[in-house]
Amino acid sequence: MLPVFSLPILIVLGFITYEDFKFRAVTWYLFPLLALIILIEDIVVYTTAMSLHVFVINFLFIIVQLIAVTLYLSIKNKKWVWIWEQYLGLGDILFLLVLCLFFSPVNLVVFYISSLLLTVIAVLLLRKIYPSFVIIPLAGLQSGCLAALIIIDLLVSTMNYKVDPDISFLF
């Protein structure tokens, strides 16, 4: 990732993190802005936008996750539950959809799982410090994880988030 694109992405991620922690809501236009910056980076750096089939794979992964959580919570509560009404905010869902533009499928799954694990750890620690900490700022915590990943990438390596790592050695 080029620093010229990293800085605007980091700024938007910073606003998402700040707003989600401070107000427990994120201004909606930050998500299309982040998506636009990512798309412009794709075109400038990779001379093409992310291929449609990669986006569709990522999008389907996120949609399947949201449907699975909806079904689980509906069965658990013995009535139909819309997860965005009580459990997830619209900003959380929009952020997950923007991530579909940023990562290749394997990298998305790795980031998704690791950021959710880090979110659980962070929330448990925050609840120890602040017992009144109830609402989980998921988009804020995940955007903080993404910002940390970008900063580490800028300082240490040149990781390409758009290309899946070679994992053939595992098989």
Which residue's entry shows tokens 């940390």?
A: 148
Per-residue model confidence as pLDDT tens digits over 134-170: 889 999 999 999 999 999 999 987 777 888 877 656 5
Q: For residue 6, name the pLDDT band (cuts at 50, 70, 90).
A: very high
Per-residue model confidence as pLDDT tens digits over 69-114: 999 999 999 999 989 888 999 999 999 999 999 999 999 999 999 9
Give the closest residue to 160 by CA, choosing from 82, 102, 88, 93: 102
pTM (2 d.p.): 0.91
